Amino acid sequence: MKQALEESFYKSLCTIELAKSLLGKRLVHDSEQGMTSGLIVETEAYLRYDPACHASRGRTNRNSSMFLDAGHAYVYFVYGNHFCFNVVSEGQGIGEAVLIRSLEPQQGVELMAARRGIFDRILLTSGPGRLCKAMGIDKKLDGSRLWQGPLYVENDEREAGLSIIETFRIGISQGKDLKLRFLAEGNSFVSRRPVNE
DNA sequence: GTAGGGATAATCT
DNA sequence: GATTATCCCTACG
């Protein structure tokens, strides 16, 4: 592994700051099948008093890793088909996290394509379920420590000068009016373009 | 390009 | 039994 961000990075920021700060950084998975990585270009924040947040109605078996210390992974299964990957934020006992919604593929594009069964670079990792499949992220990584790997985040020089757009979150029925989705302006790998504002 | 629905299963009521 | 932080395929303009 090259330079995984340290635990202190995750602890030093609140959830919204972390969601913005992760844009332009690189998510890396050093798996048994090979190395894959991608630039984070879209995130969403889920806050503890937010009705759309899994943790807002208390701790359950499913969401328990959301209550770990900042810098752990929260991976869950949705719609009977897909995994979603989150970066846990805030201190132990506080259920907040940042959902990673899309990546721009960097290393291991061939492996991603093989895992996904498609070859269109744009569709490889543009969506939370898609990127988990491409990166080989599943329930085994739930609760893992992002500062130790094999799944981790590192800096990328492209973070500098990045413009961030704030807009509404996707795929939820509650908390729709909150602008807690963040994306890299002008990047074509985001899962959906913002509609109005 | 947009809209609709099916797949598919853990979780919660 | 309903809901769900999704994806993909098909049909229709």
- Rounded to whole angstroms, how far apart are CA atoms A170 and A180? 10
Task: List, for residues A56-74, the tens digit of each pLDDT value.
Answer: 989 999 999 999 999 999 9
The answer to whether some atom of strand B lies closer than 7 Å to the beta carbon of A63 is: yes
Rounded CA–C1' distance between A6 and B6, in angstroms = 43
Nucleotide nearest to A193 (CA to C1'): B1
Task: Protein contacts on strand B: list nucleotides below 7 Å from a Cβ.
Answer: 7-13
- Rounded to whole angstroms, how far apart are CA atoms A168 and A52? 12
Task: List, for residues A21-36, the tens digit of each pLDDT value.
Answer: 999 999 999 999 999 9
The answer to whether some atom of strand B lies closer than 7 Å to the beta carbon of A58 is: no
A43 DSSP 8-state letter: E
pTM above 0.85, yes or no: yes
| Lookup: tokens for A184 | 């890299």
Rounded CA–C1' distance between A176 and B2, in angstroms = 22
- Rounded to whole angstroms, how far apart are CA atoms A50 and A147? 27
Rounded CA–C1' distance between A42 and B12, in angstroms = 29
Task: List, for residues A90-103, the tens digit of each pLDDT value.
Answer: 999 999 999 999 99
Rounded CA–C1' distance between A79 and C13, in angstroms = 30
Q: Could you write out the three-class secondary structure of A173-186?
A: CCCCCCCCEEEECC
